[in-house]
Structure 1
Amino acid sequence: MDRFKMIFQYFQSNSESVMNGICGLLALASVKIYNSLDFNCPCLPRYNMMYGMGIMFVPPIALFLCGLILNRQSVIMIEEWRRPTGHRKKDLAIVKYMCTFVFTRAMVAPVVWILTTLLDGNCFVCAFSGSVDPDKFPGFANSSSPETQHLLYKVPCKEDVLIRNNTSRKAVSRYLKCWSQALGWGILLILIILAFLARSLKPCFDQTAFLQTRYWSNYIDIEQKIFDETCCEHARDFAHKCILHFFQSMHNEMKVANFTKKSEDEEDHIHGITDKEQVNKLLKYWYQSKPPLSINYPTQRQHIKGKSNGCCLEDHKQTDV
């Protein structure tokens, strides 16, 4: 169980290579899901458009949400925005960088899904078969208007008796698939050009602000992970000592079970915080009063004395985050 937990935490890390790998897996999963999808157009007026557009755009929303869930930085971005300023000033550039990082990667799988549906063309044919001009196709030109419209909606259902022997059914289907594929390749070309321009023009701009923003974005992520690890260490020692205190009257039984205190050589993570109220005050202080981003002053200790005392720290100047 611990191994799976470690793997999950590893994939939630802030490493760009890991996040790119996750986005790639989501993109491959979107293609696999689409290929295994049992596509059945209803071939009915008003429902064709709803079904075709639904298949094209509803799954990308779910894939986008999955991308946000798997990206640990999306939660950190929201927390950083809503968290009180404390000993730091809010830097909107960092939040914007996080937002760009999160949304660009979360959009990979949805874009792949949309491009796949357009290049395949079946959704497009289902959605717009009733919108083509029947005069362009001889097999529909001589029919009455209501009958023609009804036949056009039947174009995606090639096994339907009414449309199966119509000579222009394949022509309408090819016509719509050509438009769908042209649209798909056009979108793909635009995305490639934008990515090329972003890569090519990036060295032309001053990288100082970008490097600073990227550094502090990574710092916020690492700081949160180290704080969580420290809390886990403290919670483990706190629980260990509470249990030892509870079983103090059962010293002999504890010896039999080898449940004894840790040796003095082992590291103590309690740091003088010894009851629930002190822990709650410490966590509240961490959230509301961020530690200043400076290590030029002596190591500061938080003096929490009893239930009547709060967390006390010397005041420091605000530092940019």
Structure 2
Amino acid sequence: MDKFKAVLSIADKQHAQFGFGLVVLLTAGGEQIFSSVVFKCPCNSWNFVYGLVFLLVPALMLLVLGYILSKKTWKLFTGICHRKAMCRWRNLAASGMILFHISTAALVAPSSWIAVALLNGNYFECAMTGLNITAHVKHLCRAVTLQDECMKELMKFPCERAVKVSQVDSKSVLLSLRAESQILGWLLISCMLVSNLLLTCVARCNSPISYLQLKFWKTYAQEENNLMDSYSEKHCKVLAERNLKSFFQQLPPEPIITPSNHAWQSISALYRFNTKDHYYSTLHQCVEKHQGAINDMRMDSVKSGDTSSQPLAVLNFVDEGRMML
């Protein structure tokens, strides 16, 4: 189990570097398994529905899974119904941009599934041979001598069970369908790459910081996330032991500093870098502002000559989610 956790930790650290390629490879491998093991074209009136389901439904499931696994999704939606400030136009626009960013990441896996499935051609062949449109059937059977027979036997072509049409003619139709499927697959891949390049260029052009500072920001966010996991576990263990000890031994609980609800709300929001404040996360911002408030109160107490005031305790808290950039 420890070795497995170590492998997951290494993969998580490298996710930002080759996450896109890893998702594409895993999706392509899953599609190949489904195509060779699970998929069996029925070669009847269900061809179109069956092929379309295998082509689109897994992509839809991967899209939903992408939203579920994104921590940005839950940072955005947790408690959103109780935030009155979200009704403001500026906040709605910012939330829309965040949702768009989440969607671009979630669309990688479903787009890869559809692209690989189109390159393979099995799902497309099955679906198109079951499409009962006269113009479509005539288009496919234009090279077949007996077009009427071809229209009746078209659904049996993927299983090679056509009786009244020669194998040469049926294979010619299937080759045409596979060629069309592969063309659509390459077009989809090209659109994915061009869109990714354009979005990256637009995001980098509008970046308020330089390339090296952006690299530093990503490194800081990763380190903060790693330390958050270990510190959260330790803090929860200490708090749980304190409560259990107090419960079973009937002793007053030892004082442990915990964050307020406002503090949790402050660090749970999605953060956008501001060059004026120069903070690298909501946790960084909350800590700096809290320390600044403490310093202001200390300065006021010194000016008033009050030396008996007790110093405020610094909040000890952890971020509940990964800092995503």
TM more than 0.5? yes
1:237-263 CA-partner distances (Å, limit 9, x unpaired): 2333344456659xxxxxxxxxxxxxx
Amino acid at match of 2:171: K
SS of corresponding position for 1:168? helix
SS of corresponding position for 1:162? coil
Query: Of 128, 132, 138, which aligns to 1:133?
Result: 138
Query: Of 229, 252, 256, which aligns to 1:273?
Result: 256
Q: Tell me the equivalent position of 2:152.
A: 150
Does residue 188 in structure 1 map to residue 189 in structure 2? yes
Q: Distance in 1 between matches of 2:216 and 2:91?
A: 13
Alignment CA distance shift 1:293-1:43 (3 Å): farther
Q: Tell me the equivalent position of 2:170.
A: 169
Amino acid at match of 2:157: V
Q: CA RMSD in A?
A: 4.5
Compute the displacement of 1:181 (Å). 1.6
- Normalized per residue, which structure has more helix? 2
Compute the displacement of 1:133 (Å). 0.7
Q: Tell me the equivalent position of 1:51.
A: 50
- Identify which of structures 1 and 2 has the higher relative contact order when contacts are C-alpha pairs closer than 8 Å and 6+ apart: 1
Q: Tell me the equivalent position of 1:33.
A: 33
Q: Percent identity?
A: 25
Is there any run of 5+ residues in structure 2 with no aligned partner, and where?
A: 268-285, 296-311, 316-325
* 8 A contact 2:27–2:112 mirrored in 1: yes
Alignment CA distance shift 1:156-1:42 (3 Å): same
Q: Tell me the equivalent position of 1:66.
A: 65
Alignment of 1:101-250 (within 5 A): 101-129=101-129, 130=131, 131-133=136-138, 136-141=142-147, 143=148, 148-158=150-160, 160=161, 162=163, 165-198=166-199, 205-208=205-208, 230-245=231-246
Compute the displacement of 1:218 (Å). 9.4
TM-score normalised over the length of structure 1: 0.62
Alignment CA distance shift 1:289-1:198 (3 Å): closer
Q: Distance in 2 between matches of 1:111 and 1:240?
A: 48
Aligned residues: 268
Alignment CA distance shift 1:150-1:36 (3 Å): same
Q: Distance in 2 between matches of 1:34 and 1:170?
A: 23
Q: Distance in 1 between matches of 2:115 and 2:106?
A: 15
When Rg is computed on C-alpha atoms for both structures, the one with the higher figure is: 1
SS of corresponding position for 2:158? coil
Alignment CA distance shift 1:70-1:11 (3 Å): farther
Q: Distance in 1 between matches of 2:80 and 2:210?
A: 19
